[in-house]
Amino acid sequence: MENVTNLLLEGAIDLHAHAYPEYTTAIFPRLSNYEWAKMAVQYKMRGFVMKSHIWCTAMQAFDLMQIPEIKESGLEIFGSITLNHTSGGLNPLSVAIAGEMGAKAVFMPTWGSTNDVEHFGLTAQKLAKAWPGFRNYLKQTGNGITILDNNGKIKAEVHEILEVAKKYNMYVESAHMFIEESTKLAEAAALHGVRFSLTHPFNTTIAATVEQQKYIADTGAYIEQCFITCMPMHMRVNIHNIADAIEKIGVERTIFATDAIGEWNPPEPELMRMSIGSLLRLGFSPEEVKTMTARNPAVMLDIPVK
């Protein structure tokens, strides 16, 4: 009898996995980008989105796709940009150039967000270890990057970013912002006709309630639950809490990704296998799991749903 988890892994798309180098070349990955892609081919995954807290990953994705064994396999690899200080912050031009280079995802600020700066979140802590002057730099930038103006409204440049994302058929993720910012961005994305998802809402610095998640889902957005949130070296969130949220919000509005990063975690495709196996164990049907790990991610990427 064939293993159901392995069958569902075939065709899965991970919308949130970290490329390397990340933070610094002194921090070694579990696998290189090439080895990770080869493993995804072996697992018969459909594809993944490469994320970086520092730079646009469109070039890395492009280069991987030129390797004959990757290209011929049919694996689809997509780049992204995260709007921290290092990639221009809330800069529509940075997003446009990323779009020209084929990036499919726009992540709002992570370590550069006001939320992460105020909480000195996990990502900022890692950067501080890699770069001793990082905390002083954060002080110089004030309270970090926020998408809201002094009146609590979405800034003009953020509206422009949404229009650029629409032009290049990119989707937008909330990243590490305050949940109040993400809620307003979800509403704005809906008005602009841009695909949007709330990223890892159970992260401790975000701590979105199920009601807040459901409100955002009701705007037409997706809720991206990330399995790494449950891992020992991260938030240690009880996966049953995530399962309860999915039940209340609905499988049709949920995406399950990994947010894979670090040598202390399994490689990206293996973490996706663990995600699928865990969802099945929690009582979700194979069809529901396929919706969260293959169909909904395909909708976000605007590629054919299989």
What is the pLDDT, as a whole number, of residue 130? 80
> What pLDDT is recorded for position 224?
98
pLDDT at 298 over 70: yes
C-alpha span between 149 and 188 (Å, rounded) = 14
Q: How far apart are CA 22 and CA 261, in angstroms?
A: 9
Judged by DSSP in three states, 292 sits in helix
Q: Using the Cα atoms of residue 81, residue 141, residue 209 and residue 260 in order, give the sign of their dihedral.
A: positive
pLDDT of residue 139: 75
| Domain membership of residue 205 as a residue range | 4-301
DSSP H helices, 101-155, are 114-119, 122-130, 134-140
49 strand-pairing partners: 78
Q: Cβ of 232: how many Cβ atoms within 10 Å?
A: 8
Q: What is the mean pLDDT of residues 98-103?
A: 98
Q: Using the CB atoms, write b or e for 161-190: b if 16+ within 10 Å.
A: bbbbbbebebbbbbbbbbbebbbbbbbbbb
pLDDT digits (tens, 9 = 90+) for 229-273: 999 877 899 999 999 999 999 999 999 999 999 888 899 999 999
Q: Does residue 132 have a cis bond before it (omega within 30 degrees)?
A: no
Mean of pLDDT values over 85-97: 96
With respect to residue 306, please indicate whether it lies within any of the assigned structural domains. no
- Pick the residue with more confidence: 117 or 100? 100
Mean pLDDT of 269-286: 96
Give the domain CATH number at 79.
3.20.20.140
Name the percent of the chain lying above pLDDT 90.
82
Give the model's pLDDT for residue 2: 59
For residue 135, give both structure tokens: 């905390």
Calpha distance 94→56 (Å, rounded): 9
Taking the whole predicted model, whether its pTM rises above 0.85 is answered as yes
- Does residue 47 lie in a domain region? yes
Mean pLDDT of the chain: 94
Task: Report phi then psi at 32, rounded to 5.
Answer: -70, 165
In this structure, the strands spanning 80-82 and 76-78 are unpaired
How many angstroms from the chain centroid is the CA of residue 179? Answer: 16
How many whole angstroms separate alpha carbon 296 and alpha carbon 283?
19
Split into its structural domains, the chain has a count of: 1
Residues 176-192 have pLDDT tens digits of 999 999 999 999 999 99
Determine the Cα–Cα distance for residues 300 and 21; give it in Å rounded to an integer. Answer: 26
| pLDDT at 1 > cutoff 50 | no
Rounded mean pLDDT of 80-99? 97
Helix 210-217, helix 239-249: angle, nearest 10: 40
Kindly report which listed range (12-16, 17-21, 115-119, 160-164) carries the lowest average pLDDT score.
115-119
> In the chain, what's the furthest Cα-to-Cα distance?
60
Give the CB-side neighbour count of residue 113, counting CA atoms within 13 A.
Answer: 27
Sign of CA dihedral 212, 227, 166, 107: positive
Q: In the predicted model, what is the mean pLDDT of residues 98-112? A: 97
pLDDT at residue 214 greater than cutoff 70? yes
Check residues 251 and 204 and name the one with the higher pLDDT: 251
